[in-house]
Amino acid sequence: MEQGTIGKMFNYYFDPRFDDELMRASDEFFSEKSVNRVKQTEFQDEKDEEMFNEWFIFDFKLKNGKTPLENFYEINPYNYKMSRLQVYKDLQENFFDLYEVEKIMLGEGLILKSLQTNKVYQVREY
């Protein structure tokens, strides 16, 4: 994945036109009224920020019912060519679980087995 891929999404959503969505996300994530915590990036610690960012991109639902990742892919705000936009589509296909490493293939990827379902995945990194 090209460096800055996720950062481009954050730049798009951490913009004044999304202030209401960010405050709603912050209130939902932290289960409290957060006094501009997200907008000003005043997190308690780095782990809070990392967890919020991951949750926001993959799990938070915007008012239109889509995650920021789904929305970003569909509207393509930077008019990316399909080859670059494909990364955002691929990011939507995540399987969160605990995995056992079955095999390491140096320079190619991994074979993982889900501890919950026993399903086997081949993971590649380009």
**pLDDT-derived band at 46, boundaries 50, 70, 90:** confident
**Cβ-defined contacts of 109-116 (< 8 Å, 24+):** none
Determine the 3-state secondary structure of 33 from DSSP.
Answer: coil
Look at residue 43 in the predicted model and tell me its pLDDT.
66
pTM, rounded to two decimals: 0.72
Its sign, for the CA torsion 76, 18, 3, 94, is negative
Residue 8 above 60 pLDDT? Answer: yes
C-alpha pair distances (Å), 108 with each of 29, 93, 104, 122, 125:
36, 19, 8, 10, 7
Residue 40 above 60 pLDDT? Answer: no
Average pLDDT, the chain: 86
